[in-house]
Structure formats: C-alpha cells, structure tokens
Amino acid sequence: MSFIRPEARAALWKWRELIAACVLALVGLRWALWSFGFWQIIGWALILISVIVAVIGGQRLRFRFGGGGPGVVKVDEGQIAYFGPLTGGAVAASELERLCLDHTAKPAHWMLEQAGQPPLAIPVNAAGADVLFDVFASLPGLKTERMLEELHRKGPHQVVIWERAPIRDTLQRLH
C-alpha cells in the first residue's frame, strides 16, 4: 500500500536528481555552518557535490520527454535496442558512426548510424529513451549542451549531433 499517488510519485521520480541535490546541499550547509573541524570540511564537500549533482540532474531533466511514445528502448552491455510497433533494431554503442536528430519525423527521432546497417530511428519520447543520455554522453567529443539545445529546437531538417570521423571539411573554402 502506497501513501503517494502514482502521478505524484512519477513527478517526484522525474525530478529525483535535483531533489537529491537539494537534500545534499541542506545537509552540507548544516554541517558547514554549525559544525567544526572535520564535519565542517565534509559539509563544504557535500555542498560542492550537490552543485555537481544539480548540474547533471538539470541536463537529464531537459533530456526526458516522459515516455508515452511508440516503442521501447533497452540498453544492455553497450547494445542499444529499439523495439517499435513498425520498426526496430539494435546498434552497438562502441560502433556508432553518427548520431543525428531528425526533426522532420513526428515526434522527433534519434538517428543512430552504424557502418553496414541501416540507420536506427528511435523516437525521443519512446519508453526508456532517457537511458540514451548516458550512452550519448559517453561518446568521445559530444557536446552535451549542444545536444540538449538541438533537442528542444524545432526545425525542418535533420541535425548531425555527433560524428566519429567528420565527413565534411571543417574548413569551407571559397576558392
């Protein structure tokens, strides 16, 4: 028997990292201001950790779309699998060549490209799609803030978020 309504529990779970950061900051503030010696140092360390947890939690919160979309995403030992009503597939995170965000699809889709396979399209609001944040953040050279900005921007085209080896020249010459 639960004393919290399922809707309230879901809302609290969505904000879990920021709630944990607030609790850590309050405990750290208590120890930093009203203790001495070792506990005061631990209090300041907890405040620093709470700031880091809050920044990461804020990024994760911006990445979540709440589910309810078509299909299910599962990540297991570096293998990203999508089970959708019409399509599906799997790619290895270590073998990803390109990550794109396709705004032309409704809802927007992540396009994961691996050599020798057709691109895997995953709706941003698919059930379990929030676990993709950790996979994408582990890609070498990916700019997380840029990814989050593009995720919330609307546009009539597909945007390349990350490439292992850029196909286009980084320097465009006129002559």
Over 60: is that where the pLDDT of 173 sits? no
Q: What is the pLDDT of residues 157-169, one digit of tens each?
A: 899 999 987 665 5
Q: How far apart are CA 169 and CA 113, in angstroms?
A: 20
Q: How many Cα neighbours within 13 Å face the side chain of 86?
A: 5
CB 167 within 8 A of CB 97: no
Neighbours of 96 (CB within 10 A): 20
Taking only the tens place, the pLDDT of each residue in 52-74 is 999 999 988 888 776 678 899 99
pLDDT on residue 168: 59
Find out whether 90 and 120 touch, Cβ atoms under 8 Å: yes
What pLDDT does 162 receive?
A: 92
| 175 pLDDT higher than 60 | no
**What pLDDT score was predicted for residue 7?**
83
Encoded tokens for 165: 């080896």
pLDDT, position 122: 93
pLDDT attached to residue 169:
57
Whole-angstrom distance, CA of residue 112 vs CA of residue 142: 14
Question: In angstroms, rounded to a whole number, what is the distance separating the alpha carbons of residues 174 and 97?
Answer: 28
Is the pLDDT at 171 greater than 60? The verdict is no
Q: Label residue 46 by pLDDT band (50, 70, 90).
A: very high
Q: Looking at the whole model, is its pTM more than 0.95? A: no
